Structure 1
Amino acid sequence: MIDKQDFEAYADFKRFNTYVADTWDVALREAISRSGQDTTTIRLLDYGCGDGKYFHHFVSTRGFIPENVYGAEVSSRRVQRCHDMGWANASLIDGAGPLPYEDASFDIINMMEVIEHIPAELGSRTIAELRRVLRPGGRLLISTPNYPIKRFYDLSDALLHGKWSRLRDDPTHVTHFSDRRLRHLLERSFSQVEARPFKEGYLYKRLKTPILKHKLFFLCTA
């Protein structure tokens, strides 16, 4: 059993695939368009960058300049993997401390599947810190599993598709968000919090109520 906050052990237990969801890319392109800037001038932070899953997409597909793409990660093993792929601006951070960036440093921040790994008592401070390093008018892309319906989808995947490992929830998910709870947290720091499609789930596609979404995904404006 992995300790809930042992992110070095988790780095060996869970490796990131390279799949990039089309729905996420649509939201990224919207954030780029709204910035009014060419991608070669946009500064982007991938908070909780993991093994560098999105780096090549930012650079090769969307045209960001590598020097303008930063990564922040709490696992030294994952940071080393990012460096090994050539991502020089991936940095090790203390998840409980301030970010090593000046105010208004970034135009876009990407935070995919990270907030659920942060203890609830640090959630507000983390979001406020991201807002601090985001320029006025900048955008945050954020996603997280939608509890408690997430556990129903896990059970469904196990019974219908034989994915029995889904019966045990991720041990490092220490904070469980619903649509209402995440909106409330984000609205403290951002003037606009707009839901975007991501991994919605078959129940939501039929009934269209936020409590049935498999994952939550918001585009937030500072």
Structure 2
Amino acid sequence: MRKLNSEEYEHYWNNVHMKITDDLAAVCFPDKPAYFNAFYDNIQKYALTKYFTHEKISFKGKKVLDIGCGRGRWLSFYKKRYGAQAVGIDLSESAVHACQNQGLDAHVGSITCMPYEDQCFDFVNSITVLMHLPDQLKEKAIAEIARVLKSGGNVFILEATWKDPSPHVFSFSVLEWEKLFKKYGMRLIYKSAHCFNLFRRKLPFFPIFRDFISIYLDYPLEFLLMNYFYGKQSNVSLQHLLVFEK
């Protein structure tokens, strides 16, 4: 399947935010129902919260940049749950306006050329965002992340690590992510397998009920597997939570 080019990628994400009214659907799966996207939202937040708790990371008074912030679910997460100074950037004007209407700090702009000073953020967050950038833009974005991140700061990414055939996904293996971040002075300090979707991948296809059945079967299994693979890599998972330090 042909992948989107740079212009098509930008048009795709702007179009999604203009057409989709549901906040989670706009940033997860636009063609899926609410229960489906809630599953992904819950396991993503669990993965990050578990890591922050285990590593005793404090965000109080710290500046966090959420790249590709969409309608603000991660800005709200860092601001309300952790007391961070959360800042977001997104290509979509409608998404940024949605953030601002919630009292969140968000700006319209490209993550490949960000309007921020050097070394001004303590943390950078990317949840299934970098994987949507064509490779030539992905490297520019990571160079920008390195530029705006303070020395000793951390980057949290939760991205695809399998060969996703979707035209708008440009996934890397764990090793490829590690090499590209290392190129810009950031070393991998943590990795955990995430998003296994075993039932959804194995159940036979029934057009109406397959997603509903598989998602609810995957709920308990997903949390068990995330705990088992905490701090470990897996070839079975579709994504990994990776943490880099500058």
Normalised by the size of structure 1, how large is the TM-score? 0.75
Identify the residue that residue 26 of structure 2 maps to in structure 1.
15
- Contact kept in structure 2, 1:45 and 1:71, CA below 8 Å: yes
Question: Shift in Å at residue 201 of structure 1?
Answer: 4.7
Residue ranges of structure 2 left out of the alignment (5+ in a row): 28-36, 202-221
Identify the residue that residue 245 of structure 2 maps to in structure 1.
221
Alignment pair present for 1:91 and 2:107: yes
- Contact kept in structure 2, 1:179 and 1:211, CA below 8 Å: no
Structure 1 distance, partners of 2:91, 2:168, is: 13
| 1:195 alignment partner AA | K
Structure 2 distance, partners of 1:136, 1:32, is: 19
Identify the residue that residue 188 of structure 1 maps to in structure 2.
183
| 1:76 alignment partner AA | E
Question: Shift in Å at residue 176 of structure 1?
Answer: 2.3
Relative distance call for 1:209 and 1:104 in structure 2 (3 A) is closer
Relative distance call for 1:139 and 1:93 in structure 2 (3 A) is same
- Give the alignment partner of residue 126 of structure 1, picking from 141, 162, 176: 141
Identify the residue that residue 74 of structure 1 maps to in structure 2.
91
3-state DSSP of counterpart to 2:10: coil
The two structures, once aligned, show a CA RMSD in angstroms of 2.8
Alignment pair present for 1:147 and 2:162: yes
Question: Shift in Å at residue 55 of structure 1?
Answer: 2.3
- Give the alignment partner of residue 53 of structure 1, picking from 73, 76, 79: 73
Relative distance call for 1:201 and 1:209 in structure 2 (3 A) is farther
Q: How many residues align?
A: 192
Normalised by the size of structure 2, how large is the TM-score? 0.68
Structure 1 distance, partners of 2:147, 2:235, is: 30
- Contact kept in structure 2, 1:45 and 1:108, CA below 8 Å: yes
| 1:55 alignment partner AA | L
| 1:184 alignment partner AA | K
